[in-house]
Amino acid sequence: MTTLSGDAWIKLVDFTPRQIAILQRLVEAGFEIVPVERAESYLGVTQGGFIALVDPSGARLRLYGQAGYRMGEGIGMLVERGGRRVFVRHEQMVDATPELLAAYDQFRSELRAMLDSEAASVNVASERR
């Protein structure tokens, strides 16, 4: 698995200084930036087996779609099947145990908080102009 600190699979010159700063803060907080199969336009942000797509287009980084569970090189989405919650990718399925769901919620809230704090700093800076 390639990360931001590993092979340079991301052309950093395409990112704004603000986007690079938030990517660095994500890495410092224990997240990894990884490529995702069939989602080359997005950044995969992963931690603890969970992954979310982040859209780097525009002035800031934004979550794209729903976070999921890393399954191979793709993303298992949280769904309900047969009255139980599971992460599913193609034919693969992982039970969403209470512990896994708690970790999933923590991953989503931490990532959202980091991206929201980045958005807030963009808004504050633009209001000062």
List helix spans (H) across 1-129: 17-28, 98-128
Those residues whose C-beta lies under 8 Å from the C-beta of residue 66, and which sit 6 or more positions away, are 52, 77, 78
12-41 tens-digit pLDDT: 447 888 888 899 999 999 999 988 777 778
Sketch the domain layout of the chain as residue ranges.
Answer: 12-128
Average pLDDT, the chain: 83
pLDDT at 126 over 70: no
